[in-house]
Amino acid sequence: MPTSLHGTLPCTVAAIRAGHLHDEIELRSVGASTLFATITHFSTRALGLRPGVRVRALVKPASVLLHVGEGALRIAAQNTLDATIQSIEAGAVRHEVTLSLPGGEHLAASLTRTSADRLGLHPGQPVQAVFKASAVVLARPE
């Protein structure tokens, strides 16, 4: 299942919480990270989701925020994954940061050069990748 995204996370559906219009899908990544996706009832049915089903979680790099430093975040975003910066590809305006997750998965974050400089980002640095459940797109491998 090729995509244009730099890094997709193989996951298993752990639980589904049905809401009025949308469902909250709880996922477990290969590295045992927990993440959440919010999708419509229609999408849950169309993908045939139920606990135990394997999916791929796709997150657009521009939706991934990076938290550097100590202390808990008090933020509305439901997904906070511990990661390590693997590499930084510097652009004139934006940088693409490749993150390694504990299970060997990779995720990308795209941020402005100004933000990357302000945070003092460098390879090997521990960070937290933060993104909203609504930023996660689920795909079911064929």
Give the separation between CA 30 and CA 12, rounded to whole angstroms.
8
Q: Is 82 helix (H, G, I), strand (E, B) or coil?
A: strand
Q: Is 99 helix (H, G, I), strand (E, B) or coil?
A: strand
Token pair in block for residue 97: 């940061």
CATH code of the domain made up of 8-139: 2.40.50.100
Asked if 113 contacts 101 with a C-beta cutoff of 8 angstroms, the reply is no
What is the mean pLDDT, run by run of 10 residues, along the chain of 142 residues? 70 94 94 91 95 95 91 81 94 92 91 92 95 95 78
Give the separation between CA 113 and CA 75, rounded to whole angstroms.
23
pLDDT of residue 1: 61
> Buried (b) or exposed (e) across 71-83, using 16+ Cβ within 10 A?
eeeeeebbbbbeb
pLDDT of residue 74: 79
pLDDT of residue 30: 84
Q: Are strands 54-59 and 8-18 parallel, antiparallel or unpaired?
A: antiparallel
Give the separation between CA 114 and CA 8, rounded to whole angstroms.
26
Kindly calculate the radius of gyration of the chain based on its CA atoms and give it in whole angstroms: 15
Token pair in block for residue 9: 């996370």
pLDDT of residue 31: 81
